[in-house]
């Protein structure tokens, strides 16, 4: 069963706790720069949007990697980096259309969300419930309903 991170921007308070726990879990330091999740804010408009890796099926990062170091796990659906093969060329970072990957200058490596081995810390610590870890099928259903609602709004 494939599970993905689902973001509900309306619930997000912009506290950025997710960034901190992410860096602690992966790098053992509190350093939002080294986090896999990034919260984008529009301060003037008072809007926030946590950006996460989509774990795409046909992931551009996977396609573009010259060493074939990125692969999608058929069971968990995680698009993971094999650091044995990665050469740090950052092509994947450049090509990701969501800007979901980044380069960790302190650790000299590219970083991307790996869903914390099935227990995403951002989900665990988000008190507002803005990030959920859900089955892909449910997400699709939700998205469909949301889109339909928007279409209805537009029609009305």
Partner 1 sequence: MIVEPNKNKSGKNRCVINDARDELIGLWSGSNPGEARKLLARGAGVLTRITHGQELQRPVKVLEDLVFSLKKSPSSSCFAAASLIEELLNHHKDLLFSHISDKECSAGICFFCFQENIPPCQRACPAGIDIPGFMTQTGRGEFQDAVEIISENNPFPYVCGMICPAPCEDACLRNLFDEPVFIRPLKAVAAKGAANSKGYPEPYTAPLTGKKVAVIGAGPAGLSASFYLAKKGHEPVVFESEDEPGGMLRYGIPEFRLSREILNSDISWITSHGVKIHTKERKKEIGKLFKEGFDAVFLATGVHLSRKIPFKGNDLAHVLSGVDFLKKVNKGENPVVGPDVVVVGGGNVAVDVAMAALRQGGKNVHMVCLENSEEMPASFHELRAATMEGVVVHNSWGPFEAKKDHTFESIFCKRVFDENQRFAPVFDDTRHMTLKADHLIIAAGQAADLSYLETENEIDTTTGLIWVDKYSHATDREGVFAGGDVVTGPNIAVEAVKAGKEAAIAIDEWLQQQQDKSESLSRSSLSPVSHPLLPNTQAGFSNTKPRLSNFYTRHLSHSTGSTHSANFADSTGFTDSSQPLRVTATHRMEEKRAVLLEQNPDVRKKNFFPVEFELDPEIAAAEAGRCLRCDICIGCGLCQFVCSEMGVDAIKLVKSGTGRFVISDFKNISDKCISCGACGEVCPTGAITLVQEELLKRTEFTGTVMCENILLKCSKCGTPLMPGKYYDFMENNYCSKSGCNESLRLCYSCTRQESADKEKRYFI
Residues that bind partner 1 (CB under 8 A): 9-10, 38, 40, 42, 47, 49, 51, 60, 63-64, 66-67, 82-84, 86-91, 93-103, 108, 146, 150
57: left (phi over 0), alpha (psi -120 to 50) or beta: alpha
Nearest distance in Å: CB 83, partner 1: 7
- Residue 68: alpha-carbon gap to chain centroid: 21
Q: Please identify, using beta-carbon distances, which residue of 42 and 140 lies nearer to partner 1.
A: 42
Q: Which helix (H) or strand (E) covers residue 22, if one does? A: helix 17-27
Nearest distance in Å: CB 6, partner 1: 11
If you count DSSP H runs as helices and E runs as strands, how many of each does the chain have, helices first?
Answer: 5, 8
13 vs 31: CA distance, rounded Å: 19
Q: Please identify, using beta-carbon distances, which residue of 87 and 124 lies nearer to partner 1.
A: 87
Q: Please identify, using beta-carbon distances, which residue of 88 and 118 lies nearer to partner 1.
A: 88
30 vs 32: CA distance, rounded Å: 7
Nearest distance in Å: CB 136, partner 1: 18
Residues 6 or more apart whose CB falls under 8 angstroms from that of 154 comprise none
Nearest distance in Å: CB 21, partner 1: 19
Q: Please identify, using beta-carbon distances, which residue of 2 and 71 lies nearer to partner 1.
A: 71
Nearest distance in Å: CB 10, partner 1: 7
Q: Please identify, using beta-carbon distances, which residue of 100 and 126 lies nearer to partner 1.
A: 100
4 vs 39: CA distance, rounded Å: 17
């Amino acid at each position: 069963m494939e599970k993905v991170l689902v973001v509900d921007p309306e619930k997000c308070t912009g506290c950025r706790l997710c960034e901190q726990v992410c860096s602690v879990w992966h790098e053992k330091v509190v350093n939002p720069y080294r986090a896999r999740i990034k919260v984008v804010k529009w301060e003037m408009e008072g809007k926030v949007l946590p950006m996460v890796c989509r774990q795409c099926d046909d992931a551009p990062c996977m396609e573009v990697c010259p060493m074939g170091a990125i692969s999608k796990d058929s069971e968990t659906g995680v698009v993971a980096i094999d650091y044995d093969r990665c050469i740090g060329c950052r092509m994947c970072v450049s090509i990701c259309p969501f800007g979901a990957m980044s380069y960790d200058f302190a650790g000299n490596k590219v970083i991307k969300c790996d869903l914390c081995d099935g227990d995403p810390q951002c989900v665990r610590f988000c008190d507002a419930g803005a990030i959920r870890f859900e089955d892909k099928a449910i997400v699709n259903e939700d998205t469909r309903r949301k889109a339909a609602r928007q279409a209805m709004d537009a029609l009305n």
